[in-house]
Structure 1
Amino acid sequence: MNASALIHNDAGQYLLHLRDDVPGIWEPGAWSLLGGGREAQDRSLEETVRRELREEAGLDLPDLEPFAVEEAHGDDGATLSIAIFAGRWNGDPADLALAEGVMLAWFAPEVLTRLRISPTTVDLVKRHAARAGRAAGLASGGTGLLGAPRPLTTQPPTPRGTVPNIIGVHLYLEDADGRVLLGLRHPNSAYAPSMHHFLAGHCERESAVACVVREAHEEAGLVIDPGDVELAHVVHLVDAPGDTPRMQVVFRARSWSGTPEVREPDKCVGWRFWNPEDLPEQVVPYTRVAINGIRAGRLYTELGWT
């Protein structure tokens, strides 16, 4: 039997683990919960999940409570029972020492259906969110509970105007002919599969300019001097009512060295410079908006707000 951790924060988000996309493992290339199989030294399934959290992410939660027992089904028809333990944590996933998989990230329940993720995991998160009072209108309940869990304390509403926003950093590059660099994302990418997009990433413990310089080298082998980076455009967007707002910051590099090459093939399958008047049809919408804004000389665009 396996054990997994349903980790949530005070913002109502859930911590998910992007698994390696390699054959022979459970749910390759998908977002899932942290956890694993019980080993001989584990005296209980709670010990199992605590050990897995330490081994996979260096994470030690003070409180874990049994929430449910789920039946997972693999592509080979195998069925696996998984004990789910719920726990609260408010840290930054970027600070964790991830030993397995690609990355950890927070997600609100309403965006999970846009990810490559098991429907049973989506249902599990929504059931927990409903019990916690974080997702009005979602149906609570479910079968196989390990006893009724204690109600989670409902957090006071976030003060008006202080909703956290996700910050994305992007690179706008033009070649000598005025063509714009875009990458074709992997068809199994968790975000925007088979779409063209800027070279982009999220800040770690660094400035936004340092982030875009680092991402340019890690993703495409480009070398950029921070002094050659300038702000080109900002898109403040929300994908749908109730979704987490995102501030997409686009920087332009006036000069760089190197030829774009694929260094993260699990995310991007190719780089190409495109005529901005003849972009491919499959472009991430806010990427297209940013390119149009830059060409029009605008610094700021809002998208999706009502």
Structure 2
Amino acid sequence: MTTPQLPQAPEPETANASALIYNDHGEYLLHLRDYFPGRIWEPGMWSLLGGGREPQDATLEHTVRRELAEEAGLDLADLTPFGTEYATDDTRASVPIAIYAGRWNGDPTELRLTEGVMLAWFSPDDLHRLRIADTTRDLVRRHAAGLPVNTAPQSGLVRQQEHRASPHGTVLNVIGVHLYLERPEGSVLLGLRHPDSAFAPSTWHALAGHCEQESAIACLIREAREEAGLHVARQDVELVHVVHHIDKAGDRPRMGLFFRARAWNGEPELREPDKCTEWKFWDPAALPDNLVPYTRQAIAKIQNGELYSETGWPA
């Protein structure tokens, strides 16, 4: 007798975004919230700047940039997706918050603060003295642990020494996750990258993203939801190919993980039009000419049942 499976509760939609701002000293910019119990989230606590998505926000990056401008008059040149923090609201429900990391070396006392009490820099080693959510404290410390030597906090001397002791100038590889979405008739999903993309502009590519402080499968699930509105459950994901590649001589090496989604909910939609301008299912035997080369190779290997390949490395 087969035990009936209960329907799985849908994962909450990410509708909030916050900024993890750090400086060249390895310090982090924290916001002391107003003490209005029952009226605001985490009253009287130190937190990250950020807020909820509004109708005019095309992406969650637009959300966090708008919040930074409105709350503190801040405009950061670069913001990079770092991961997802899960906070708990007043009803004890889990609320996902997209985290974007960015570097800034200014004086917070000169900012035009419109919400909260103050902004200040803190070393990760000072967080135990603050009234701060455990999830925020852990998020800051995870980010600090991955900082390069020249931005690591002064208290991290042991980590710096370990980094310098790495043999032969060890180079860390970038980990990228890719969604291999195949319809029953065999067509596979590709996205056309925006003409202004730093990587492969106006070129077709798999739905993909960099793995930050999160597991590869968690990254895949998040990217599928944020980029295309697709909902993929962890138990429906399987690794189908790994490609170890270098795009061109001198570039940082990359490990591309391709995961097949055996099932999913939703149809691809343009959730981040500043990154992708079109989603389309293609016949693997008639892929577009302007396709990222390692993606073309990975699709061919997946079709052939091969789990691993390399490209770009010197012979």
Bin the TM-score by the shorter chain. 0.5 to 0.7
> Displacement of 1:34 after TM fit?
3.6
Report the counterpart of residue 112 of structure 1 in structure 2.
none
Report the counterpart of residue 98 of structure 2 in structure 1.
none
Greater fraction helix: 2
Q: Deviations over 1:86-108 (max 9, x none)?
A: xxxxxxxx9569xxxxxxxx9x9
SS state at 2:221 partner: helix
Work out which of the residue numbers 255, 277, 282 in structure 2 matches 1:274. 282
1:239–1:214 Cα change, 3 Å: same
TM-score norm. by structure 2 comes to 0.51
> Displacement of 1:157 after TM fit?
6.6
Q: Which runs of 5+ in 2 are unaligned?
A: 1-22, 27-60, 67-73, 81-101, 112-117, 126-137, 151-160
* Residue-pair matches, total: 201
Equivalent positions of 1:259-298 (< 5 A) are 259-298=267-306
Report the counterpart of residue 50 of structure 2 in structure 1.
none
Q: Please, what is the CA RMSD of the aligned residues?
A: 4.2
Report the counterpart of residue 81 of structure 1 in structure 2.
none
Report the counterpart of residue 186 of structure 1 in structure 2.
194
Report the counterpart of residue 234 of structure 1 in structure 2.
242
Report the counterpart of residue 44 of structure 2 in structure 1.
none
**Equivalent residues of 1:34, 1:52 under 8 A apart:** no
1:26–1:230 Cα change, 3 Å: closer
Report the counterpart of residue 165 of structure 1 in structure 2.
173
Q: Deviations over 1:30-85 (max 9, x none)?
A: 999745699868xxxxxxxxx9995xxxx7699xxxxxxxxxxxxxxxxxxxxxxx
Q: Which runs of 5+ in 1 are unaligned?
A: 9-18, 42-50, 63-93, 98-105, 109-127, 129-152
Partners in 1 of 2:231 and 2:110 — Cα distance?
Answer: 49
Work out which of the residue numbers 250, 257, 261 in structure 2 matches 1:249. 257
> Displacement of 1:300 after TM fit?
0.5
> Displacement of 1:270 after TM fit?
1.4
> Displacement of 1:206 after TM fit?
2.6
- Give, as a single letter, the amino acid of the residue that structure 2 aligns with 1:285: P
1:214–1:26 Cα change, 3 Å: closer
TM-score norm. by structure 1 comes to 0.53
Work out which of the residue numbers 155, 177, 190 in structure 1 matches 2:185. 177
Equivalent positions of 1:106-185 (< 5 A) are 156=164, 158-160=166-168, 162-185=170-193
> Displacement of 1:243 after TM fit?
2.4
- Give, as a single letter, the amino acid of the residue that structure 2 aligns with 1:261: E
1:257–1:242 Cα change, 3 Å: same
1:230–1:40 Cα change, 3 Å: closer
Report the counterpart of residue 216 of structure 1 in structure 2.
224
**Equivalent residues of 1:171, 1:250 under 8 A apart:** yes
